[in-house]
Amino acid sequence: MEIALSVKNVVKKYGDFTAVNDVSFDVEDGKFFSILGPSGCGKTTLLRMIAGFFEPTAGSIEIRGKNMANVPPNKRPVNLVFQHLALFPMMDVKENIAFGLRRRGEKTPEVMKKVHNILERVGLPEYADKRIDQLSGGQKQRVAIARCLVLEPAVLLLDEPLGALDLKLREHMKVELKKLQAEIGTTFVYITHDQSEAMVMSDHVAVMNNGHFEQIDSPSNLYNNPASSFVAMFVGNNNKVTGVLAKDESGKFYVQDKNQLKYAISTIKDCREGDIVGMYTRPEAIIINPAEDKTFFNRTGVHVKAVLFDGGNSRLLVVTPTGQEVLVALPQNHQFDYIKKGDDIMIGWDPASSVCFKETGAKMYDDEI
Amino acid sequence: MMTKSKRLSWGFFVFFIPVFLWLMLLIVLPHIELLRMSFARPAYLKQPGFTLSNYIEFFKEPIYWNTFFRTAMYSITVTMIVLIIGLPVAFYITKVASFKTRGFLTILILIPFWVSELIRVYGWTIILRESGIINHFMTKYGIWKQPIEMLYNDAAMIMGLVYTSILFMVVPIIGVMDSLDNSLIEAAYDLGAKKNVIWRQIIIPHCMPGIISGCIIVFMMVLGSYLTPNLMGGKNSMWFTEQIYNQFILYRNWNMGSAFGFLLLFMSSIIIWVALKLSGQSLKEVVK
């Protein structure tokens, strides 16, 4: 497979501040690649370096094997879909889409043919003569993408283009965008802070934090085998228990928290005995009222502090006798309808569903305790 | 309900009456009187009644309508020069300069206007006149053999007019350029546009309301200015406001002066109307 975009050891510094710190990745032709990270992690800076608006402090960016150093944005075979789309309000839909083609000096009949083709592709064939302010949010989205796709770029860059849409439309556009990409076959590099967008659409996702990549993997691997505590916390939900990693007589590992409570764990990655670790367990891996017959199983009685109803994403907020708060997924199949706030129930999970990483003291949000 | 609408109308009149009086007493009534006078013969002829002779006189005398068209053409030229200088200045202030220097630059443009126009124009004469600063240094270092008179020609006059009106172009353009989303410029750049295309297709169309309102203000100011053409252009300036001044003050012919005044008003209205039509802007949009 041909490599459409290759980023090698790219660094971007602003004075003492390093916005992008030694990032490398390759994107194969025709793939949907996402960069996922919290706001301020440097993903926009990285994207703008690929688009050519910033020059990297160090490292190189190659597009289809050509080094892009000192190539200005208007000469690069990439196009960027802006966060707020940046459609030209002074032009109608067809002139917006024709803008790039005209810059290449193509003749009007040819340009109009391409414009109508691409409008059909994005499902807006009758909108050529509409003004931009006559379009809905989703339609603007498609025009913005069409405006770039009509130029047949080697790579299409997308800067959180779904951010401004409401939830339902966003869910819809996610699927649309994925379908469009599969149909047209253009390489997409998509940046977002929304993990669901990244997971649903992408072939590969890079998780970015503090200017560097934590992990580049398929969405299912990110979820199942996070490479760092940041990825574990950022992708999906996780319950975190901090404690010391220890080994019992039979050689099985467990994490002992500050209240001397022990939680068995089967995968310890590169942590060692005696390390202070964070143990991560997903709410959906926790079983309510587990069967009694399981051996090598974490089991604890808890007190239901609140029922957090959120449709298919409902959870129970429970506390262990030692005061550790745990989120437990609550399937909406009427099996657990009897559980009310204030009840005492049993929860348990397989030690294989937990992962642990060496505690770094890093916090995802400032108000985290 | 009743009391509320009463209170509303009371508040409305408090603000409306001063505006109304000001407009009526200082603008509308004097203009009606001037309009009446422009269609009357001079009082010393003792011939009451309606006449077009004041206007006919204007077209019969080449010096009058020559001055008239010269003033119009030079006003348009000055407006264009101010626009060409003002656009990059406004662009630099809104899009290139950092937030801190931005305020500083705006103040730099503003400060000269704290001084009266008279003082500013005299400042220019000190620099440009035969015994002025430039001539002093040029002759002292032998670059010029003898002092050159740089005042009292059309170039000096145009420069003076550009200088005195640039602020009124830059400020409205800064207003609209501020609202131009930077990402539009970046998007055009990303789609392959060169700088001149970005200016022509993105920046100028977006700034059109500000450009037009700046042009109208500058054009009216230049057309109606008296001091700068008089002091910097001297006797050769041939500015139409001087003709009006002469009629009123020198010849004491108020009727002719009024007719000239209305001709100037009529011409400026026509030119602005044509400019609005040509640029496809509506006055409503521009004054917003």
Write the DSSP string, A100-112. HHHHTT--HHHHH
Domain boundaries, chain A: 3-229, 237-358
Q: Which of A218, A216, A214, A183 is nearest to A199 (CA)?
A: A218
For residue B48, is it within any domain? no
Q: Which residue has the tokens 């129970």?
A: A316
Could you report the per-residue pLDDT of A40-84, keeping only the tens digit for each?
A: 888 999 999 999 999 999 999 999 989 998 899 999 999 999 988
On whether residue B133 sits in a domain, the answer given is: yes
B61 shares its domain with B123: yes
Q: Encode pLDDT of A164-198 as tens digits.
A: 788 888 888 888 889 889 888 899 999 999 888 89
Residues B168 and B222 in one domain: yes
Choose from A74, A85, A155 for mutation: most chain B CBs within 10 A.
Answer: A74
Q: Is A50 touching B (CB cutoff 8 A)?
A: no
Has residue A229 got a pLDDT over 80?
yes
| B124 plus B19 within the same structural domain | no
CA-wise closest residue to A50 among A36, A65, A71: A71
| Residue A296 contacts B where some CB pair is shorter than 8 Å | no
Shortest CA distance to B124 belongs to which of B90, B147, B158?
B158
pLDDT reported for residue B112? 84
Strand A32-36 with A187-192, pairing: parallel
Q: Are strands A155-159 and A78-81 parallel, antiparallel or unpaired?
A: parallel
CB A349 within 8 Å of CB A286: yes
> Among all residues of chain A, which has the CA nearest to that of B206?
A90
B7 and B141 belong to one structural domain = no
- B108-135 tens-digit pLDDT: 888 888 888 889 888 888 888 888 888 8
pLDDT tens figures, A282-330 = 999 998 888 887 777 888 889 999 999 888 888 999 998 888 889 999 9
pLDDT of residue B4: 53
Token pair, residue B251, equals 């010849």
CATH of domain A237-358: 2.40.50.140
The answer to whether A74 contacts B181, with C-beta atoms less than 8 Å apart, is no
Q: What CATH architecture applies to the domain A3-229?
A: 3-Layer(aba) Sandwich (3.40)
d(Cα A343, Cα A348) in Å, to the nearest integer? 16
pLDDT digits (tens, 9 = 90+) for B55-85: 998 889 898 989 999 999 999 999 999 999 9
Nearest to B202 among A88, A104, A148 (CB): A88
CA separation for the pair A282, A238 (Å, rounded): 4
Closest among A73, A23, A17, A75 to A46, alpha carbons compared: A23
**How many structural domains comprise chain B?**
2
Share of chain A above pLDDT 70, in %: 98
Cα–Cα separations (whole angstroms), residue A19 to A6, A72, A299, B30, B222: 19, 21, 44, 67, 51
Per-residue tokens: A214: 């934590």
Report yes or no on B205 lying in a domain.
yes
- Note whether B76 and B127 are same-domain residues: yes
Quote the CA–CA distance of B156 and B134 in Å, as a whole number.
Answer: 14
Q: What is the ipTM of this complex?
A: 0.82
Query: What is the pLDDT at residue B207?
Result: 93
Q: How many CB pairs under 8 A join A and B?
A: 59
- For residue B194, what is the domain's CATH number? 1.10.3720.10
Min distance B205 CA to chain A CA atoms (Å)? 7
Report whether pLDDT(A277) > 80: yes
pLDDT value at position A299? 86
In a domain, residue B161? The reply is yes
Tell me if B96 is assigned to some domain.
Answer: yes
Residue B50 lies in a domain: no
Domain of residue B210: give its range. 55-287
Task: Report percent pLDDT > 90 for chain B.
Answer: 47
Q: Which of A301, A351, A350, A309 is nearest to A326 (CA)?
A: A301
Nearest-by-Cβ selection for A104 from B186, B189, B192: B192
Interface residue of B176, B190, B196 to substitute, partner A, most A CBs within 10 Å: B190
pLDDT score of B2 more than 60? no
CA nearest B239: which of B58, B125, B68?
B68
* Beta pairing partners, A308: A315
Q: How many CB atoms lie within 10 A of CB A363?
A: 10
Is residue A368 very low, low, confident or very high in pLDDT (cuts 50, 70, 90)?
very low
Q: How far apart are CA A231 and CA A238, in angstroms?
A: 10
- Identity (one letter) of the amino acid at B245? Y
Report whether pLDDT(B204) > 90.
Answer: yes
Is 60 exceeded by the pLDDT of residue B5?
Answer: no
Q: Enumerate long-range contacts of A14-19, CB under 8 Å, 24 or more apart.
A: A18/A211, A19/A45, A19/A211
Q: Are residues B210 and B168 in the same domain?
A: yes
